Amino acid sequence: MSVLFTDFRDFTRLVEQMTPQQVIEELSYCFTAFDDICDRHRLEKIKTIGDSYMAAGGLPRPNDTNPADAVSAALEILEWTENWKVEKLTRGEEPWEIRIGIHTGPVVAGVVGKTNLPTTSGATPSTTLPVWKAAASPGTSISRKPPTSWSGTSSTASTAAKSP
């Protein structure tokens, strides 16, 4: 399975002066485009949280193309956001810059706690998030499956994520 994460760099600062309605409209504009892109590349949107978007390939039916599908979707999202950046600059608005992380490997999902909200656990989110958050500039980060001896600790996940 491959998981793709996105968020916008400096999101909190960018939206400080916007009304809640404007923020929702901008995110809806972006995430609708991301939904279309993910559909074209056989990725399933998992969830959005604030300015973060998560999609996965290789589910509900496993396939061998999900790593390439995730990379293709990421590249198309980057292209879309570059075009959107030009539109915003033309209107005199500050552009939003995207960060994208991709990880391919095992994932466990289930309900944690009393509420019936699915939660993912395992190598994929723990390994991808350090890579994603460590991105100094907007763009794409891709991590590989951690070693089979991976214990699930943050420090190990960060080391595995930085491996070539």
pTM score, two decimals?
Answer: 0.71
Q: Kindly tell me the sign of the dihedral angle through the C-alpha atoms of 37, 128, 14, 45.
A: positive
Share of the chain above pLDDT 90, in %: 60
AA letter at 154: S
Q: How far apart are the first and last CA of the chain?
A: 19
Q: For residue 160, is pLDDT > 70?
A: no
Task: Of 3-17, 51-65, 144-158, give the lowest mean pLDDT range.
Answer: 144-158
User: Band of the pLDDT at 111, cuts 50, 70, 90?
Assistant: confident
The mean per-residue pLDDT over the stretch 48-52 comes to 94
Q: Distance of alpha carbon 79 from its chain centroid, rounded? A: 15
Q: How far is CA 78 from CA 8, 81, 105, in A?
A: 12, 5, 23
Strand order in 98-104's β-sheet? 43-49, 52-57, 2-8, 98-104, 139-143
